[in-house]
Chain A
Amino acid sequence: MEVKDDVVFKGEHLLPQQRVCLFMGRLMYSACAKDCGLGAYASIMAASISGYTFSSVCYHSANSSSDHEGFLLGEVRQEETLSISDSHIGSSEFLNVIEVHNHEPCAQLFSFYDYAGNVNEENLNRILKDRRKNVIGWYRFRRNTQQQMSFREQVIHKQLTHILGIPDLVFLLFSFISTANSSTHALEYVLFRPNKNRYNQRISLSIPNLGNTSQQEYKVSSVPNTSKNYASVIKEHGTEFFDKDGVMKDIRTIFQVYSALQERVQAVCCEVDQSERVREKIQEEVNKLKEEIALRKRNSAEEERRLQEAAAVTLPDNPALPDSSHSSLTQVMLSGPSVEPSLERPVNSSSPPIYSTTLLPDSPSAILLPRPQAVGSPGHPSPSLGLGNGDGSSSDSLNRQATGQEDQEEDDDEDSSEYENLVSEQLQLPSLTETVTLGRPATLWPDGDAHSPPGS
């Protein structure tokens, strides 16, 4: 049956009795719709996220060696439009608008849930603070996975829905894949409505932008007109728009708005810059402390072993113990090369920096940790070390084992392991600083002149 859109009403203008009729009509049509597939009751979903928020999520994800997740803050609006046809039976269209304003990134995985997917409300509140009321969904960034919610994610989602009291909580899934040679990467994103029925599971996510910035709308010529009346009227009354210099007043006014706004942007930008430097500095101090602590712990553990050994050797009953002190060291050293070396940035550029391997437990940003890549692709980034091929591709790295391997609870669903890339085990190792010792050490120097490499 065809419903003509002769008249379109917004819901709020209807009398109660009209609404009841329409509601009944909707129920009737809904029932019909399921049978005959007609969308008499149509729910249109529209979702949007600002380019800056989107980029910010990408940025945080890029800084994580594992999966990355967080919450989506924003607003959901519902608009009802009704159309009444000749037969006085209406069909209503609901336009649900989901606007993501910003995101609240989680510093690490498992910050508000455990391996079984149980959500901890206390932790949740600590993360969200007073932004809890603005939550409209959550998101997850994964590498090399399918565009489906994992089992654990579904479990978490149900609980979040319940705890936060948001019936239509959405889930935004980012999936990252790369070509084998890492020259091209794709970030796919899907917005899910897991709490809705099967038919409305995915929503298009748009990124509002400037659209058309072309200046084609300016008129370069006036419509030819010889009417003296026209000319005199528009001249006389048109002067209102212009100031004594012949410049349109509006132009000056709007430019002032823009200037003030840009000034504010600059000011806040300065504040952000300052906060970034402070944060950077403290992060560095924290990293140094951790290194120092780990070093001391290792040294004292070393000492203990030596003492134990010495004590053991002097006892005639005990057979000579294997040189455990060396083996533990070698163990630690062997694990070194399998992690990507980090690039040390010298404060003064006079000496060429040496590649060093630094393992820092809680700051993956300090090192270029390997990331799970598509099957057959090399780990990243593997500068030189004799592994590079001349044509620009990197060879397979040893790092795939260090990433994305799940070994959490055994009763976890197969799907979770497939989809999720959790924190690499490598991060649990004590910190270690050493020069990569694969054959000869790689040395790097900056090339000051693109045309003549030093030494050539």
Chain B
Amino acid sequence: SIVLHIMAVSAVHLESDAFLVCMNHALSTEKEEVMGLCIGEVWMSCVYEVDTNRIVHIHSVIILRRSDKRKDRVEISPEQLSAASTEAEISFEHRLADMTGRPMRVVGWYHSHPHITVWPSHVDVRTQAMYQMMDQGFVGLIFSCFIEDKNTKTGRVLYTCFQSVQAQKGSEYERIEIPIHVVPHEAIGKVCLESAVELPRILCQEEQDTYRRIHSLTHLDPITKIHNGSVFTKNLCSQMSAISGPLLQWLEDRLELNKHSIIKLQKEKERLTQELASL
């Protein structure tokens, strides 16, 4: 158990812009669990050369496509995760390298629990345990949303961070709680923005893939084909009005806000420059 303590993650620092993308993703649908990967780095700290702490810094996230779209299962296999991670790291390393100068990698995963409790299910805990076998610093985040207390008309969004631990060899995995803090990040990072606008693309891709499979069925009569084509059209319309539209609106608002902030900051910079000159 001493070894366990040394290796455990002591805390997760989730940058607020990455947090923003997670929330966007989690709130995109209440009928299914969504998932993604957390990108960042792990910091080891050693005080007095005795106590070693790991802090996982999450700088951004990648939205993942769901291979298994059943409502209550989100996990992708460790092999798929590994493949997705490698891909992510390759593309991210290139982009993030020139910004921070430090390589980023996949440090965890997140998924949503619409209408259900924030605590990881047994499946989640086992999935997390599997990921930890590849990387013991791997962390899991869960966002619970679309919860409402009908009596008080109070809505709730919760998020938690966990890892898995086995009390003894062969026993059932249990979750352990990991402190998680959302740390301020006043500007939204480029990688986060790019991840956010990936969502409509991913949704459309999923729809196209499904339609292609259906379309390849040759025994369907014209009426059925027309029906299926209409389903595709309908679904794409849903995606555009529920996701693309609001996303675009938010982007426009953000642009406006930034423009005004820049003007204000310019004025302040001038004022301060003068003040400094007078000292």
Contact = CB atoms under 8 A, between A and B. Distances in A.
Interface string B100-134: 11110000000000000010000000000000000
Contact of B221 (A105, A107, A234, A440): A234
B225 interface: yes
Interface string B132-161: 000111100000011010101111111111
B77 interface: no
Lowest 4 A-B CB distances belong to which pairs? A51-B27, A238-B222, A390-B5, A183-B177
Interface string A426-456: 0000000000000110111111101101110
B231 interface: yes
Contacts of A204: 148, 150, 153, 155
Contact of A63 (B2, B184, B197, B211): B184
Given A188-B156, A272-B258, A365-B184, A383 B53 contact: yes
B81 interface: no
16 contacts: A55-B24, A56-B20, A183-B160, A207-B30, A207-B146, A209-B146, A213-B31, A219-B228, A248-B232, A261-B248, A262-B201, A365-B184, A368-B184, A385-B47, A447-B44, A451-B136
B251 to A, nearest CB: 5
Interface stretch (B86-94, B166-174, B271-279): B271-279
Nearest to B17: A59
Nearest to A182: B179
Contact of B246 (A50, A185, A205, A442): A50
Interface in B24-72: 24, 27-32, 41-48, 51-55, 69, 71
Contact of B153 (A101, A184, A203): A203
Contacts of A241: 222, 225-226, 229
Contacts of A179: 177
Contacts of B251: 265, 268-269, 272
A445 B43 contact: yes
| Chain A CB within 10 A, most for which of B29, B251, B268 | B251
Given A213-B203, A218-B228, A269-B194, A392 B177 contact: yes
Nearest to A453: B44
A450 B135 contact: yes
B44 A454 contact: yes
Interface in B172-217: 176-190, 193-194, 196-197, 200-201, 203-204, 206-207, 210-211, 214-215, 217
Interface string A349-374: 10000000000000111001000000
B187 A277 contact: yes
A142 to B, nearest CB: 14
Nearest to B47: A386
B83 interface: no
A123 B44 CA distance: 47
Given A276-B187, A443-B45, A235 B246 contact: no
A52 interface: yes
Contacts of A17: none
A255 B179 CA distance: 44
Contact of B265 (A63, A269, A283): A283
B242 A209 contact: yes
Contacts, number: 410
Given A55-B27, A56-B20, A63-B16, A282 B273 contact: no
B31 A296 contact: no
Interface in B224-269: 224-240, 242-244, 246-255, 257-259, 261-262, 264-266, 268-269
A294 B258 CA distance: 27
Given A204-B148, A254-B232, A265-B247, A211 B193 contact: no
Given A185-B180, A203-B153, A213 B29 contact: yes
Interface in A227-269: 231, 234-235, 238-239, 241-242, 247-248, 250-251, 254-255, 257-258, 261-262, 264-266, 268-269
Interface string A36-61: 00000000000000111111101100
Given A147-B154, A275-B255, A62 B44 contact: no
Contacts of B5: 390-391
Nearest to A271: B255
A96 to B, nearest CB: 14
A445 B61 CA distance: 22
A319 interface: no
B29 A254 contact: no
A71 to B, nearest CB: 12
A213 B255 CA distance: 30
A181 interface: yes
B257 A202 contact: no
A62 B19 contact: yes
Contact of A444 (B45, B157, B237): B45
| Chain A CB within 10 A, most for which of B100, B207, B217, B257 | B257
A392 B11 contact: yes
Given A238-B222, A247-B215, 16 more contacts: A55-B24, A62-B184, A105-B257, A183-B162, A184-B159, A184-B177, A185-B180, A205-B153, A209-B146, A250-B232, A262-B197, A268-B248, A296-B279, A384-B46, A394-B10, A455-B46
A290 interface: yes
B13 interface: yes
Contacts of B41: 446-447
Contacts of A273: 190, 193
A445 B118 CA distance: 33
Contact of B183 (A53, A147, A223, A381): A381
B8 interface: yes
B5 to A, nearest CB: 3
A302 to B, nearest CB: 14
Contacts of A278: 258, 262
A393 interface: yes
A322 interface: no
A190 B247 contact: no
